[in-house]
Structures are given as C-alpha cells and as structure tokens.
A and B are shown apart, each in its own frame.
Chain A
Amino acid sequence: MKIELNRTRCEGYGFCEESAPKLFRLDDDGELEILQPQVPDDELKKAEAAARACPVAALSLVQS
C-alpha cells in the first residue's frame, strides 16, 4: 500500500504523526513529511489508523 497526501487539505493537525511516527513527521515548520510513502507490511495497521485519525481526510492508502 502507498500513502497519498492531499496537501491542500492538510492543515497540519499532526494526528497522523501521533498514530504512525515511523511514517509521518511534522517538520520544524509544521509541514507534513511522509517518511515512507510505500508502507511496509508491519506498519500497515498504523498507516490505516493514521488515515482514519486525519480530521480533514487528507490521507488515503492506495494499492501500489
């Protein structure tokens, strides 16, 4: 699975980082960085939780 970010929707709430710190990071300016666009199998549950936790639905997981 691959992470897709809709940057215009993202307001930097940071809940994805909280759910999956290995996949997401808010940089010093608070901009969202995707650390691993291709989700490793053992992080899949966390990636799903991160997408679900985004209050503006800016994240989605797509088949790669």
Chain B
Amino acid sequence: MSRADLAERGVLVVGASLAGVSAISELRSQGFDGSIRLIGSEEHPPYSRPPLSKGILKGSERIEEIGLPPLDEDVEIHLGVTAVSLDPAERVVITGGGEEMPYGGLVISTGARARTIEPPGGRSERVLRTVDDYRDMSKSLEHAKTVLMIGGGFLGMEVASACHELGREVTIVDLQPPLRSQLGTFLSELIVASARKGGVEIHTSPNGISLRGDHDAVEAVELDDGTVITADLVLTAVGCVPNIEWLEDSGLEIDGGVHIDELCRVAPGIVAAGDVTRVAAGDRVAGRTPQWMNAFDQGRIAARSLIGPNEPDLVATVPYFWTEAFGIELRIAGALPVMGAPAAVEGTLVPGQPGPALLSWGPLDASRTCVAVNKRMPAARLRRLVAARRSG
C-alpha cells in the first residue's frame, strides 16, 4: 500500500471505539492529511466505557463528561452505521444500509460486546457495556433492593461495588473466587475481604450455575449444590466476545479475534486495534486483551503501521490497568496475575484499610509488575517503573 494510495482513497475506521479514536488522532499527529471516515454502530459519539461501571453508576460522574476528546472537524463521522462485510481485494466495506465504502487503508476497531450465559433466544440478561445498557440498568436499579451479580471479574466487582455503595443488598456468584484468576490471590483478597466486611455475600459454584426465571428475564440462579439465590435485579458480567462476524467472508484470520502482529498489522493496508484483536507471533496466538490502555496503545501503533514503517515503543508495550471496588483502588503496570506476596512494599497495607502503598512483584526485569494501592499515581510514572527495568 503506497502513501499515495492512502491519500487518494483515504482511511476508513470501522468502530467508533477508544481504539478507533486513538488511531485517528495518531494519524493526524503523524501528519497524515488524507481523508478519514469513521463509522460506528452506536448512536452516541465515541465515549470512554470504564466510567460506566464506576463514577457513572455511582452517580459521581455524568454521561456528558465521558466523551472521548472531540475529533478534528475534517474527520467524517457516521454514527448508527454498522459494517456487515469486508472485501479486501476490492478494498471496500459494505454497511448494513448497503452502502459501499471504499478505502485506501482500513482500521478495524469494532471492539467486543458483552458475553451472556443463555444461548441465543434464551432469557434476556442484563449486562453493562454501553451507555444504553447503563440507562436500562440504572432504571431497574431504582426499584431493586437486592442485586445478584453473576461474574466476579473486574466489571462484575466494580458494578457490584457501585450497587453496594448505592445501598443495595449485593450477592456475587462465580465459578471461582472473585478476581483470583485475573489478579492473583494477594490482590484479589484485598478486594474480596473488603467486600465481605461490607456485608456482601459471595458464593463460588465451581461446577457451574444455571439461570432461573419464568419469562424473558432472569430472576434467580441455581448453584452447583442446589442453592437457589433470588434477587430483584440479576446482572451478568462474564466477559466479552469480539465483534468479528462482519469479517467472516473476508479471508482474514479471525479465529477468536482478529489476528494481528506486534505492530497491529492484519494484511496489506489493513490494521486492527483494541478489544477485537489478538496478537499472533509465529505459531503462538495470545488471548485478547480487552482493556482500555491496550485499546489506546494499539490504536496509536496501528495508525503508525498504516502510514509507514513502525517500531514498537517500549512504554506503550507495558500493560497498564486500573480498577476500583469496595474501597480498594488499584493501578497496575505490568503483567497479571501476580503470584504470592509482593517482593517489595513501600507504604502500608493495614488489613481493612490498605494503602496508600506501592507494591512490586517479580525480579527486577521484564516480568516485574508494579501496583499502586489506594495511591494516586500518574500512569506514565508507573509504566516507566516497569519499562525502565525492561530496557535495563
């Protein structure tokens, strides 16, 4: 793909997500002045999702405040438009309305959607992924005294925490102890202990669960020991699935997500970024990394790869993640989960009131992970702590 081609036919970004927006700002910052079109299936201008399960749900932030930085006026934005297929040979994307959108360069940033437990056509589950989901959820929450959260991952714990803070009686159900597989025992216990102390009930049901409810809605869940838990509002937060169906006939490798290389390249003239991707290096295909910072970083990397030679940026390859639940705020740079107790602790970790503290795991090399607990710390600084070790 030559630069002239790109300039002539322009760049098409499919998916008005953080990854898509980040790619667009990077294209402009790198001096690309050809046309850019963005299409997105949601009706809302691009926004940041993490606040939905935190400040927005708790009521400390407003929907109007979570917009992503506005794009330049010369970026053509089509909202409420869904891509239904891609023809890489002709370099055309077809939309749900039947429109053909030619491109010189394509950015795939269609993200992921909430996974549900029921098979298609089953009971409808309440999830939280989009602004519309949030509006539905907060309406139902008004009339609910008891909340049952199915899924003790990051999203499930954040939403459960917000409901608890709003005075609801909260129960959490998962196949495994909440957050243990994501964070490791040490960090997950900080949050779980705080949740229990606050009166939240947590059940694990390693052999599976089944949903109960007479009509469309889920009203209860049955655990593997036969216990049935009922609640006014039952929520599901069991991960996400990549939006790849529109690429089924494209010939691209999309098993479990769009396969990209380290520089976010998919095929000549096509890059991808964010929740929809998984990195494939040789025979090894990593799982997806459906996280905010990853989407932002990959958007930038994808943009650079699209318009010219690219090199990986060290800091941008350090994973960064944050979460807050039950009074524990974690900012994490480096790989997860972390095993065992931290190798070093700066600050205090009094049980019941941990932090402010800076913890680190692992030897002083690439495998190091640094975690700020209830400590406001700039993301760049935390990431550099890990990056410095990587290069040194």
Contacts and interface: CB of A to CB of B under 8 A. Distances in A.
Contacts of B29: 19, 49, 52-53
A52 B380 contact: no
A30 B381 contact: yes
Contact of B380 (A14, A54, A56): A14
Interface in A1-54: 11-14, 17, 19, 26, 29-32, 49, 51-54
B377 interface: yes
Contacts of B380: 12-14, 17, 26, 30
B67 A57 contact: yes
B25 interface: yes
A57 B381 CA distance: 19
Interface residues of B, number: 21
Contacts of A57: 48, 67-69
B1 interface: no
Contacts of B378: 11-14, 26, 29-32
Chain A's interface size range is 20 to 34
A22 B68 CA distance: 24
Interface in B361-392: 377-382
A55 B28 CA distance: 15
A47 to B, nearest CB: 12
Contacts of B67: 57
Most buried by B among A26, A49, A57: A57
A58 B18 CA distance: 15
Given A49-B29, A52-B29, A55-B18, A13 B381 contact: no
Nearest to B315: A14
Contact of B25 (A11, A30, A52): A52
B69 A54 contact: yes
Most interface-central of B28, B71, B377, B381 (chain A CB within 10 A): B381
Interface of B: 18, 22, 25-26, 28-29, 48, 67-69, 71-72, 292, 296, 322, 377-382
Interface of A: 11-14, 17, 19, 26, 29-32, 49, 51-57, 59
Given A52-B29, A54-B69, A55-B68, 4 more contacts: A11-B379, A13-B378, A13-B380, A55-B48
